Homo-oligomer: A and B are copies of this chain.
Amino acid sequence: MAGKVGIKDVARQAGVSVGTVSNVINNPELVSDDTRIRVRAAIERLGYVRSDTARQLRAGQSRIVAMLVLDLANPFFAEVAKGAERALRDADLGVMVCNSAGSTSEESEYLSLFAEQRVRGVLVTPADTSGRAVETLRSRGIPFVLVDRSLPADQGCSVSIDDVLGGSMAVRHLLSAGHRRIAYVGGPMHLAQVRDRYAGGLEAVREAGLGDDAFLPLDSDRLDVSAGRDAGARLLGLAPRPTAVFCANDLLALGVLQSLYAAGVRVPHDIALVGYDDIEFAAAAAVPLTSVRQPAARIGRTAAELLLQETDGAEAAHTHQRIVLQPELVVRDSSRAAASAPASNT
């Protein structure tokens, strides 16, 4: 029955003009008690639902904020999304969560969709490192905030974690446990996160006076558990086997852990393992995982607030901000010195 009830049906039913109905909805204080009650009743009776579509057309922008993440199945991003959602809901905005799956083509497809939808703004973790995503958004005049990726403050807002620092913390931790041959398992290198964490690790290695070959990159094409399993298998085939592995995220680490276990390689006794993100499952893993913790929900919330500030705020008065949060190393069994020197045994 519903679906075709418009504001003018309500107006007729209540015996007033459309303008008055609109006012009852948006500026109740301008309408007399009498009329307001009558209109409200008509709305109720007819089951009228305002068309946000038409409202948006007039207003020029929608009440939806888009969020584009690298992997919806990664609990880290799910947590970021939850944080953002909460903040945006308080501002009466809907969130459209989408998944670029790390693909630049899907990313640009979604960005086009967002542009056509005239979304209020976009929270995005770019899959493309070349800045094309940012460029696209800027040229289309869509407000955005980069999530989990940094940007010079004059180019736009961003909320990120210092990934270089995170990488160096992880590797420094392994070095101090005596490891001298560390592998880095990381997804496609065009992802900034993957590169930065690698860079941080390399920095730590050099700092320790070791050659770059002490930190061996092992490319993986995705950042999920099954890619981790593949990497684990390749790891076992390496000539002088690394004694420690640092993974670009926890999903990879869990995959690596599974492969190693299946092959009878013990963690941390034979190989130490460190992940990244500290997702909830890291602590519950077969061997509780040492990981670099990122304050996921806070990242999401902060990004959402920045976006709100930019769109709602004093318009031209907004100045972009680059917010960089600090990661934190959480040490668990997977990298704890197994009471013996892991250097060169067997």
Contact = CB atoms under 8 A, between A and B. Distances in A.
Contacts of A141: 1-3
A62 interface: yes
A53 B225 contact: no
A322 to B, nearest CB: 24
A132 interface: no
A317 to B, nearest CB: 19
A298 to B, nearest CB: 15
A308 interface: no
A71 to B, nearest CB: 9
B52 A116 contact: yes
B51 A57 contact: yes
A262 B344 CA distance: 6
B117 A52 contact: yes
A339 interface: no
Contacts of A262: 344, 346
Contacts of A85: 72, 98-99
Interface stretch (A37-45, A189-197, A284-292): A284-292
Max count, chain B CB within 10 A of own CB: residue among A140, A257, A280, A288 = A280
A264 B344 contact: yes
Interface in A197-233: 225
Contact of A52 (B95, B118, B280): B118
A254 B94 contact: no
B49 A116 contact: yes
B261 A344 contact: yes
Contacts of A47: 139-140
A97 B69 CA distance: 12
A75 interface: yes
27 contacts: A1-B141, A2-B139, A2-B140, A2-B141, A3-B140, A3-B142, A50-B116, A53-B53, A53-B57, A53-B62, A53-B117, A54-B57, A72-B78, A72-B81, A72-B85, A73-B75, A73-B280, A89-B109, A94-B113, A258-B284, A262-B344, A281-B284, A284-B285, A284-B286, A285-B286, A286-B286, A286-B288
